[in-house]
Amino acid sequence: MNTFSIAIHGGAGTLVKGMMTPALEAKYKAALQLALDAGYKVLENNGTATEAVEKAVVVLEDSPLFNAGKGSVFTATESHEMDASIMDGKTLNAGAVSLITGIKNPVALARDVMEKSEHVFLAGAGAMQFAKELDYTIEDASYFYDAFRHKQWIEIKDTDSFQLDHAKKKDSKFGTVGAVACDKDGNIAAATSTGGMTNKKWGRVGDSPMIGAGNYANNKTCAISCTGSGEFFIRGVVAYDVACLMEHKEMSLEDASNEVINKRILEIKGDGGLIAVDAKGNIAMPFNTEGMYRASKSSTGQEEVSIYK
Ligand code: ASP
C-alpha cells in the first residue's frame, strides 16, 4: 500500500500575530483540524484523492472563518462571486467554475463540471445555468454574509483598491482554501475554492479556478493548491511551474515548491504560498508571507496544524 496523505490550507498572508487572540487561534486550528480529519478519513476508508480533496474543501467552505463558500469576501457591488477548481492527477481531468453566486459549495460544482460536462471551465451566468440544470439549491445572499468581511469591504468600497482578505494590517479572518491528497493507490488530486479579493470588480478572476495557475494535479509530478495575490500566481503559472521543475529538472517536491514560492514568484513580487503532495505521499507547504493557515496528515504518522512559520 502506498503512503497516503493530505494537506490543506486556509489562505496565506500578513497574518499579524499580535492581532490574533489565543481563543481565535484555537478556533482557526479547530476548523483546520476538522477539514483535515474529514479528508483523511476518506483516504483511510479507501476513498480516492479526488473524493478526499473535495470533502476537505467542502468543510472549509462551510466555515465562515475562511474566504470561500460561507464567509466569502464582498465584491465592489456588495455581492459574492466565487471561484473553484478541482483536478484528478490520474486522468488529468479537471473542472472549474468562476464568478458564481449562491452556490453553497463551489468545489462540488467544479467537480460536476469535470464529471458531468464535456468542458473544463464554466463561468458566470452559464455556470449558474449548469448548476440549475443539476438542481443545485441557490442560497440567499444572507447565507454567505459575514459581518467582518462586510466591514473589510466598507473600509475600501469607495476606492479603487482591492485586497486579499487576509493581507493588510489588522485582519484576523483569512483565506482562500484548498486541499491536495495522495490516496492508497498513489493517485493524487488538488482542489481550491475562493471568494477572491475584497472589492474586486469588472468580473475579476484570480488564480484559484485556473488550472496550472492556482490548482494542478498530475500523478507524474505533484498536486498543488495555491493561495496569495492571484494576479502574480497567474503570471507565474505557479502550480504548473512546480510540476515542470519536477518533471524536467528532476527536482524533489520540496525543492521545486520552494524554488517557485521563495524565488521565482518573489522575483515578480508575488506574495503567498502553496500546498503540495506527490504520488509517494510526500508533502510540502512553503509560503513567503508571515503565515499560512495549513494542516497536513500522513499515514506515516506525521501530523501538523499551523499558522505561523
Ligand atoms: N488567490 C486568491 C485570488 O487571487 C486569493 C487568496 O488566495 O486568498 O483570488
Q: Would the pLDDT of 236 be above 90?
A: yes
Decide if 198 is catalytic.
no
Does 151 have pLDDT greater than 90? no
Q: Containing domain of residue 164, as a range?
A: 5-308
- Quick one: pLDDT at residue 32? 98
pLDDT digits (tens, 9 = 90+) for 198-221: 889 999 999 999 999 999 999 999
Counting the structural domains of the chain, the total is 1
Read off the pLDDT band of 148 (50, 70, 90).
confident
What is the average pLDDT value for the chain, to the nearest integer?
93
Which is higher by pLDDT, 44 or 154? 44
Q: What is the mean pLDDT of residues 263-272?
A: 95
Say which CATH number the domain at 54 has. Answer: 3.60.20.30
At residue 230 the predicted structure's pLDDT band, cuts being 50, 70 and 90, is very high
Contact residues for 254 (Cβ-Cβ < 8 A; gap 6+): 282, 284
Please tell me if the CB atom of residue 101 comes closer than 6 angstroms to any atom of ligand 1: no
Backbone angles phi, psi at 180, to 5 degrees: -135, 145
Q: Which pLDDT score, from 0 to 100, does residue 163 have?
A: 64
User: Confidence band (pLDDT; 50, 70, 90) for 48?
Assistant: very high
Assigned C-alpha cell, 90? 490520474
* Catalytic member of 75, 176, 198, 227: 176
**pTM tops 0.85, yes or no:** yes
Which ligand 1 atom is nearest residue 165's CA? 8
Instruction: Report whether 4 contacts 184 (CB < 8 A).
Output: yes
